[in-house]
Structure 1
Amino acid sequence: MSLRAYQQAATRAEPPRDVEYRLFGQVTRALIAASEAPATDYATRIDALDWNRRLWSTLALDCSSEGNQLPPQVRASIISLSLWVGRQSSLVMRGEDDFEALIDINRTMMQALSQKPEAPAAA
């Protein structure tokens, strides 16, 4: 089985929350590796920051779409976080801050995604 076929099968079998959790895990590991890389390893640092920024931009775009079923307050919070991630990433790229805040926010998202949604109360 090719890698692409495996990825498509895995995507169909995994609930969206699990896919998002896994993706956040991969991006967060890349941020951690970048934070531990030498300051002169620009490629590793920029690649991780760019991947994280693209993840958050994708989430914001999804939250702004009409068909998104998350509550409006949650959607607004994710969009706000995405904007913050963009600004924070720029600070880190310029060497004006470190990776820790970005890693922490991703870990917080992973923690939220790992919690099972509450079942609707019985009538």
Structure 2
Amino acid sequence: MSVNAYVRARKVAETPRSTEFRLMTEITAQMIAARDAGFSGVQLAPALHRNREVWGAFRTLCIDSANALPDELRAGIISLSLWVDKYTSQVITGRESVDELITVNRTVMAGLANENGAVPVG
């Protein structure tokens, strides 16, 4: 099967939740790899940028009144995304470690896995 055929098949079979899980898995793995390679501060910027982008997208989706998630969950996601944004700046400037961002992503992934049966990244 060609790569393009695989991508098309995955898009048809994936639910929004499984797409979110896959994306969080990729980004979290990228942050872990960068950390394990000894990167810190600004060296983590590529991985942190992707993480910040996805959390910004989650925030935008939750702000939309047409979003079907419960209001309390939407508010929690918005709050968490704002924390991720602020904390990411602290990681980039070397004041904090990337570990807390990894932990938050893993926690979200575990929640997504409970919904779709996927296995979180270790």
Q: TM-score range by the shorter chain?
A: 0.7 to 0.9
Q: Which residue of 2 aligns with 1:30?
A: 30
Deviations 1:77-99 (A, max 9, x none): 00111100001110000000101
Letter paired with 1:77: G
Matches within 5 A, 1:7-86: 7-39=7-39, 42-43=42-43, 45-86=44-85
Amino acid at match of 1:73: E
- What SS does the aligned partner of 1:97 have? coil
Q: Secondary structure at the match of 2:57?
A: helix
Task: Give deviations 1:28-76, integer Å, cap 9, x for gaps.
Answer: 0011112123347945x11000000001000110111122100000001
Contact 2:42 2:93 (C-alpha < 8 Å) held by counterparts: no
Could you list the runs of 5+ residues in structure 1 that have no partner in the other structure?
118-123
Q: Which has the larger radius of gyration?
A: 1
Equivalent-residue separation in structure 2 for 1:7 and 1:109 (angstroms): 24
Give how far 1:116 is off: 2.6
TM-score between the two structures when normalised by the length of structure 1: 0.84
1:12: how far off? 2.0
For the residues of structure 1 that align with 2:55 and 2:40, how far apart are their CA atoms? Answer: 25
Whole-Å separation in 2 of the counterparts to 1:40 and 1:25 = 20
- Report the AA paired with residue 35 of structure 1: R
Alignment check: 8 A CA contact 2:55 2:84 kept: yes
Distance in 1 (alpha carbons) for counterparts of 2:110 and 2:11: 21
Q: State how far apart, in whole Å, the 2-side matches of 1:115 and 1:74 are.
A: 16
Q: Percent identity?
A: 40
Q: TM-score, normalised by structure 2?
A: 0.85
How far off is 1:19 after superposition?
1.1
Pairs aligned (count): 116
Note the aligned Cα RMSD (angstroms).
2.0
In 1, the alpha carbon distance for the partners of 2:27 and 2:18 equals 14
